[in-house]
């Protein structure tokens, strides 16, 4: 079975600080936009979507900071994502209460520094309710449950956002930098996913010499490879199958050799050479 790239687990202190700092810095504008959206948009479905996006963006901001600081630890990324999304949720509560009670935003620093005041105001809001899904204001136990679900959604999406950012690229330990996306090819789905992955894992990428290029509109596989731009010794392959109403990742960052990268490049060059005459013909017409 082919090996899969794994992060080394290293956590430079500066990288950890950058992750937390960028996550917290992004939380302030994100909290304002989130509160503005849930107050002014009546659709419950859209509000829930805003909640998911809010948590994910807070986590992704932390993930980008961690990557900037060269942190290579997915578990730490998840923890930092939860921490920054929790901070973003706390800031959004302060901002939301200012909006609800129609106070000037100059109050925000003072409100943020007084968790007890936020808790007291939240209880006042809960007793009276602020919005409704049926006619009467939602309040009491029902509103507490909604708020808890909101918090859980933000934290889960924050964890997921940071984790996905950390997972996106491999890191070359020899050259001390992140690898780059080196290329992508589309091949026709002549094999079922299980057969394709068996060939990839056991036979390598030699089958590309017989594979056919595909268009995005038809069922196909996307093969994306990342490489270290300095030494070229670290190369990974990710595979996604695209079928009608169903896209699925079959493999993420499988380690491949330089010879297999050459096979991918050869297939890419063959695809371009086949597309060139058609493109020229369309211009002539």
Instruction: Give the Cα-Cα-Cα angle 129, 30, 103 (nearest 5 degrees).
Output: 50
pLDDT digits (tens, 9 = 90+) for 5-64: 999 999 999 999 999 999 999 999 999 999 999 888 888 899 999 999 999 999 999 999
Report DSSP letters for 167-193, one per residue: HSS-EETTTTEE-EEEEEEEEE--S-H
Using pLDDT thresholds of 50, 70 and 90, give the confidence band for residue 224. Answer: very high
pLDDT digits (tens, 9 = 90+) for 73-98: 999 999 999 999 999 999 999 988 88
Return the H-helix or E-strand segment holding 220.
strand 220-227
Q: What is the pTM of this model?
A: 0.84
Please state the domain extents for the chain.
13-168, 172-284
Using pLDDT thresholds of 50, 70 and 90, give the confidence band for residue 274. Answer: low
């Amino acid at each position: 079975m082919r090996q899969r790239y794994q992060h080394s687990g290293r956590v430079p202190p500066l990288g950890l600080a950058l992750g937390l700092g960028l996550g917290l810095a992004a939380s302030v504008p994100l909290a304002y936009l989130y509160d503005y959206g849930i107050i002014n948009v009546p659709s419950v479905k859209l509000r829930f979507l805003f909640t998911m996006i809010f948590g994910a963006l807070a986590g992704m901001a932390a993930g980008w900071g961690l990557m900037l600081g060269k942190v290579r630890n997915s578990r730490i990324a998840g923890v930092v994502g939860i921490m920054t999304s929790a901070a973003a949720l706390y800031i959004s509560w302060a901002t939301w209460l200012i909006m609800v009670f129609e106070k000037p935003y100059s109050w925000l620093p003072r409100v943020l520094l007084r968790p007890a005041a936020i808790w007291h105001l939240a209880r006042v809001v809960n007793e009276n309710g602020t919005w409704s899904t049926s006619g009467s204001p939602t309040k009491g136990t029902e509103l507490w449950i909604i708020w808890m679900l909101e918090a859980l959604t933000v934290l889960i999406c924050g964890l997921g956002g940071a984790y996905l950012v950390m997972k996106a690229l491999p890191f070359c330990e020899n050259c001390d930098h992140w690898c780059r996306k080196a290329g992508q090819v589309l091949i026709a789905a002549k094999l079922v996913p299980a057969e394709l992955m068996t060939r990839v894992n056991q036979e390598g990428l030699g089958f590309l010499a017989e594979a056919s290029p595909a268009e995005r509109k038809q069922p196909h596989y996307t093969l994306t490879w990342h490489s270290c731009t300095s030494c070229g010794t670290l190369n990974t392959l990710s595979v996604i199958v695209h079928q009608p109403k169903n896209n699925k990742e079959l493999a993420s960052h499988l380690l491949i050799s330089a010879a297999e990268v050459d096979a991918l490049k050869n297939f890419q060059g063959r695809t371009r050479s086949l597309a060139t005459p058609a493109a020229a013909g369309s211009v002539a017409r």
